Amino acid sequence: MKKILHILLALALAFSLAACAGSQEEPQPAPEVPENASDPAEQVKLIAENRDLWLSTDPQQADLTQYAVADMDENGRLELISTVMEGTGRFSTTRFYEVSEDFSKLEPVEYDLDGAQSEADLGWTGSFRSYKGELGNFVVASDQMANGYAENYYYEDFFVLRDGVVNAGTISYCLVLAEDSNGDGEPELHAYYYASGDEEEELTPEAFARSADDFFGYAYDRYVMDLRWKQFDEAARKSEVDVPAGLADSWSGFGFRKSTQEFESLFVAPSSYYDELYENGEKAAITYGMESLPDYWTLQEISTELEARNAIEDGIDCHMIIGQDGMVSFSFNDPTDARSPIELEGMPLAMAEDGMGDPAESEDGEGNGADWMVVFSTEDGLNRFEATIGPDDGRLYVTWYWWSEEDPGADPVIEKMVFTNGVG
């Protein structure tokens, strides 16, 4: 694995050059540290007081963003990590912040992704494999990238915080392609494994599984690093109590521990993830026929027991995208509907027989009559779509169930929606 050695050598060189550059400068007096400022409890309080720096207020991300307090480099200065994952391609955005050397403020930390394909998906889990050694405490995390169901990537990435910079890189990756190798018209999943993004160095599945161990070698000790993720809803974000309390609880869940059995269990074979992806995406595509399934649908009409409305005549702008990766996007803008506007993407569909939702609340009380379902939350309630494609007219029929957040025990509002295939 030549590129593995190159990455570690490059990191070592970067760290040593930074140290040399610092040694040529005039020694600076150590900053004055207020009494008790280094106390973790005081640092958590400082992080909470700087919430304007890190607490998301984006209406599309705020409720999805996760936060954790840590000390990944064990230098005594705490970090705040925020991460959010969106979209059908599993796109993650992560930010790091660290308490300053004088413990007076919280500062953004540079996130150098030069050695990685994209940002690792940290929010999937609260426990990570960690390798402690001379160059720092390296953390291994997976990064999953979906390009439809037919082309998917699973990266084994690392990141390390040292000298105020988070460096990231790729250890190895798995490429999964849906290919019809035997000519029977049914695509099969084929997995290919490579070292550190090098397509010339193909690995066996066994070599891929131990690639992180080979990457760091025996000079690095194995630990499990725990993060306790927290999410803050709108009420908590406005609270003077909930944010500090959540951060304190997050810090209490952070740590490094020795557990060989759990360390080894944290490696998840890509096949477990892609089997699920295949079930969601390919199963849906097979249901309707891969080539005949349109992915872009435009609302034609919407109705309740009392009235039926034409979308064009009543100025309702609504469309749905059913991706062949098993993900659904939905846009709804109705000037007369208080729930509007709704803009959501990356919602996984489930086949009706998978049992999502309460069958007793379906049209016939048994969950029948729908091919697939989507369940999602909006600011004002819980929603469920039950959908099928008309066998005669090819239109998409959706029953929309909505339970109000103010009275979730009440019967849902039920609306019938009819979509026609449109050009996206």
d(CA 210, CA 280): 29
The full DSSP string for 15-40 is: HHHHHHHHHTSPPPPPPP--TTTTSH
Provide the pLDDT confidence category of residue 348 given band limits of 50, 70 and 90: confident
Average pLDDT of the residues of the chain: 79
Q: Give the max Cα distance, the chain.
A: 81
Q: How far is 224 from 141, CA to CA, in rounded Å?
A: 12
- pLDDT at position 47 over 90: yes
pLDDT at 103: 95
CA atoms within 13 A of residue 47's CA, in its CB half-sphere: 33
When mean pLDDT is compared across 29-38, 41-50, 256-265, the lowest value belongs to 29-38
Using the Cα atoms of residue 353, residue 358, residue 361 and residue 364 in order, give the sign of their dihedral: positive
Closest CA to 143 of 109, 112, 168: 168
Which distant-in-sequence residues (6+ apart) come within 8 Å of 35 by Cβ? none
Match 């702008």 to its residue by tokens.
317
What is the C-alpha separation between 78 and 37, in angstroms, rounded? 12
Kindly indicate the confidence band of residue 338, based on its pLDDT and cuts at 50, 70 and 90: confident
Greater confidence (337 vs 325) lies with 337
pLDDT at 89: 47
Most trustworthy range by pLDDT among 2-6, 40-44, 308-312:
40-44
Q: Are 298 and 419 in contact (CB under 8 A)?
A: yes
Phi, psi of 258, deg, nearest 5:
-90, 120
The ranges assigned to domains in the chain are 2-279, 294-421
Question: What is residue 12's predicted lDDT score, i.e. its pLDDT?
Answer: 54
pLDDT bin (cut points 50, 70, 90) of residue 48 is very high
Q: Is the model's pTM score more than 0.75? A: no
Among 313, 303, 300, smallest CA distance to 393 is for: 300
Q: How many whole angstroms separate alpha carbon 1 and alpha carbon 215?
A: 8
Question: Lowest-pLDDT range, 1-15, 282-296, 314-328?
Answer: 282-296
What does DSSP say about strands 372-378 and 381-389: parallel, antiparallel, or unpaired?
Answer: antiparallel
> What digits encode the pLDDT tens for the residues 107-144?
999 999 887 778 899 988 999 999 999 999 999 999 98
Which residues contact residue 354 at a Cβ distance below 8 angstroms, ignoring those fewer than 6 apart?
none
Distance CA 38, CA 101 (A): 9
Helix, strand or coil, per DSSP, at residue 367: coil
Lowest mean pLDDT, pick from 212-226, 346-360, 374-388: 346-360
**CA-CA distance, 128 to 389, in Å (whole number)?**
43
Q: What is the mean pLDDT of residues 411-417?
A: 90
How, if at all, do strands 165-179 and 106-115 pair? Answer: parallel
- The pLDDT confidence band at residue 357, using thresholds 50, 70 and 90, is very low
All residues at 6 or more sequence positions from 365 whose CB lies less than 8 Å from its CB, including other chains: 359
Question: Contact 300/266 with Cβ under 8 angstroms?
Answer: no
Length of the chain as a residue count: 424
Q: At what angle do helices 242-252 and 40-49 cross, to 10 degrees?
A: 140
Cis peptide before 341 (omega within 30 of 0): yes
Q: Which residues pair with 175 in a beta bridge?
A: 153, 192
Q: Quote the tokens at residue 256.
A: 């490094």
Contact (CB, 8 A) for 162 and 73: yes
Neighbouring CB atoms inside 10 A of 342's CB total 17
Question: Which contiguous run of DSSP H or E holds residue 11?
Answer: helix 2-23
- Residue 409 burial by CB count (10 A; 0-12/13-18/19+): exposed, middle or buried? exposed
Name the CATH topology of 294-421. Answer: Lipocalin (2.40.128)
Q: Which residues pair with 348 in a beta bridge?
A: 327
Give me the amino acid identity at 165: V
| Alpha-carbon distances, residue 199 vs 117, 175, 196, 413 (angstroms) | 14, 10, 9, 53
The predicted model gives 147-176 an average pLDDT of: 87
Please, which residues bridge with residue 82 across strands? 67, 95
